Structure 1
């Protein structure tokens, strides 16, 4: 019999010591394992020559250069592609890996990630067999995948015809492809996914209505936010969320758009996504947007401030650095991505109420007032008019909350928690008044 040490010497090479990194259909870099939990990034010579040193390809934190990036600079972006917390642990167990083995997880899950990044074992072909790349599911099959999420988070499975894909976050969700006809399946051969399905949770049965309400209020108030709807699967409500980093035409052709969250862009590990742990700050995000120099900078700064405000007004204290992102247009032009993962956490007294990012030094959402917005404006160079602009926007959010709540009644998905969120938005809006 072989010892565990002997078996590890046989198993490890199967996953390889190198991974190829693609952006769209171009092989631009390699990841090289440096140890059990360490790896480094090197741009391939062809990418350096084609795009030039300093070019923005993968991440603002990883501009193109001929020399390798060490583990400390590589990991924030690539660990940011992977699931978090218990979801990561469950997937690792399914794949026979340690949760700390980010390199191994990328090797197994990297064929469909957030943005336009694809990570494959070195030498593996990028081509996708479109005819067999999606496992189409009927109603019963879809309900079973939802029921299996505690064992198979994201829908990741082992064996032949396996589903291997990745998305950051800790909330249970199924990653699927949905075509214009309404047909739903799971990608199995590297095909891009298009939607997320988030089921109701046992301890938070109104979570589906909560998130749908918050997203629709944000959209109604004029923000770009993820498009979502309630669908019934297996007799239970689920939230079907359209991925904003994908496009799909009338013929069903799917294309990836590149994006990264602010932790990735700032070179911060997912474990430090909260400001109190050294994560992104509002001032830091503002500075990054200015550094990127987008042609839509003024609009993006305005959108960022309004996104922060709507999170406070609706009671989302979990708006951390991984819940704000940049979306890249052709030629590396960056703009603020649509708002996503907006849930009123403050309606649940047992959850931490402290803001993931302080506003003018305040982390208690019930103490965010006009003075806090003035301090934020001074700290971020956003101008003395900011508190008044936020106050006006708050009035729009309150009105939108009332309208969306009535629409929810008419459409049949209203829950009492929505009345709590409306009342909360009204109270918080009054705080913003001078």
Structure 2
């Protein structure tokens, strides 16, 4: 260990990982070290871990707190008070979703004892999204580039893996892992280069009742029309397969990376949580460097979620990024109607609970520090964009059967929109 490296106190460490951070200008900095001890079998396999910043990193002019709430820039050892993972939430944000984790475990044939988050990070290396990378040596891990095989073959292999992992050969598994992405969710996603741009390719799932690729593209269009800031996107055909291509927002113009944090991590919410949009507003006031922009933007997104029926509004679906100057809200993502609809949102809307109504959305405007006039204008703009939802869906190739499945819920929400707009 280098003299300036983190001298973590966890005894008999099971695993020690160096954390590297790529800055927006492309520099790679050794940020610190994670240590996780062997599971404590006397306490049900509890995992004890910790993180400490490198001294050199703390003195670097581009040093940035990896988590401004839970890991401020100091030289102290930060224990990870998360017995099921042993690592802080910011590092777990780097891990793949359920689909990607299964791919990672299968790729490395990890036994159950080596499926802990720390072990997964070790194998993740620098193939995930975001500014952080992990390794066990003194040299920053090189990013694993997707092989030169064509995108169509890669997507076809991903869809076969989604149907039945046993159908995928080892060489295909390696290629899929190298292209696998790391945002939340349980659907197949790959990171690819298309037309010279790094994109996340979201694919259909064998469990879909409707064409979610085209449905999500249509929803992103509706969101953009409603005034939400969304990433650039397109639907592309690769042979028999369609993919929603979303331009990555974690890559800077200088070939560096913007550090991102989920709101779940910033709020310290693990497993089951009972939180709502007012909690998100309070967090933005605390962390955002541009609350005057981010609070109205997030309010607009919660209104859109209520209108479209995006009930899967969990905290991994909201994030902040540091643009080199300050923390700010990322573009909105994962905007889809719940199919089949379940009615209740993950996040609550204050006193109305998890099923928003007109009064609740008006009250949320006050929670976000907006005047009644501003809140009403935002609701009216979202409602106006929603009026043409059928046309938007049809333009993206959503078929008659899928429209029939989605229409009852969306039409009910649209009626609610009109009531809300007049409140």
Where 1:148 maps in the other structure, the secondary structure is helix
In 2: Cα distance, 1:181 partner to 1:375 partner: 45
Q: Judging changes above 3 Å, is the alpha-carbon distance between structure 1 residues 164 and 117 closer, same or farther for their aligned structure 2 residues?
A: same
Deviation at 1:318, TM superposition (A): 0.5
Where 2:195 maps in the other structure, the secondary structure is coil
Kindly indicate whether the alpha-carbon contact (under 8 Å) linking 1:226 and 1:242 is maintained by their aligned counterparts in 2. yes
Determine the structure 2 residue equivalent to 1:76.
89
2:18 to 11, 20, 43: 20
Deviation at 1:395, TM superposition (A): 2.7
Matched, 1:32 2:35: yes
Determine the structure 1 residue equivalent to 2:278.
283
Where 2:235 maps in the other structure, the secondary structure is strand
In 2: Cα distance, 1:156 partner to 1:285 partner: 43
Question: Once superposed, which parts of structure 1, at least 4 consecutive aligned residues long, lie more than 6 Å away?
Answer: 155-162
TM-score w.r.t. the length of structure 2 is 0.79
Kindly indicate whether the alpha-carbon contact (under 8 Å) linking 2:227 and 2:381 is maintained by their aligned counterparts in 1. no
TM-score w.r.t. the length of structure 1 is 0.78
In structure 1, runs of 5+ residues without a counterpart are: 1-12, 183-192
Q: Judging changes above 3 Å, is the alpha-carbon distance between structure 1 residues 328 and 32 closer, same or farther for their aligned structure 2 residues?
A: same
Matched, 1:137 2:149: yes
Q: Give the superposed CA RMSD.
A: 3.4
In structure 2, runs of 5+ residues without a counterpart are: 1-11, 23-27, 40-46
Deviation at 1:314, TM superposition (A): 0.7
Q: Once structures 1 and 2 are overlaid, which stretch shifts more, 33-42 or 208-217?
A: 33-42
Determine the structure 1 residue equivalent to 2:259.
258
2:382 to 394, 400, 404: 394
In 2: Cα distance, 1:259 partner to 1:406 partner: 34
Deviation at 1:339, TM superposition (A): 0.6
Deviation at 1:217, TM superposition (A): 0.7
Kindly indicate whether the alpha-carbon contact (under 8 Å) linking 1:218 and 1:310 is maintained by their aligned counterparts in 2. yes
Q: Once structures 1 and 2 are overlaid, which stretch shifts more, 298-307 or 79-88?
A: 79-88
Deviation at 1:231, TM superposition (A): 2.5
Kindly indicate whether the alpha-carbon contact (under 8 Å) linking 1:156 and 1:163 is maintained by their aligned counterparts in 2. no
In 2: Cα distance, 1:58 partner to 1:379 partner: 25
Determine the structure 2 residue equivalent to 1:186.
none
Determine the structure 2 residue equivalent to 1:7.
none
Determine the structure 2 residue equivalent to 1:67.
76
In 1: Cα distance, 2:36 partner to 2:171 partner: 23
Q: Judging changes above 3 Å, is the alpha-carbon distance between structure 1 residues 107 and 135 closer, same or farther for their aligned structure 2 residues?
A: same
1:335 to 328, 353, 375: 328
> Deviation per CA, 1:146-193, whole angstroms, max 9, x where unpaired?
32245299x9977799738651323232322314358xxxxxxxxxx6
In 1: Cα distance, 2:94 partner to 2:393 partner: 34
In 2: Cα distance, 1:211 partner to 1:293 partner: 28
Kindly indicate whether the alpha-carbon contact (under 8 Å) linking 2:154 and 2:175 is maintained by their aligned counterparts in 1. no
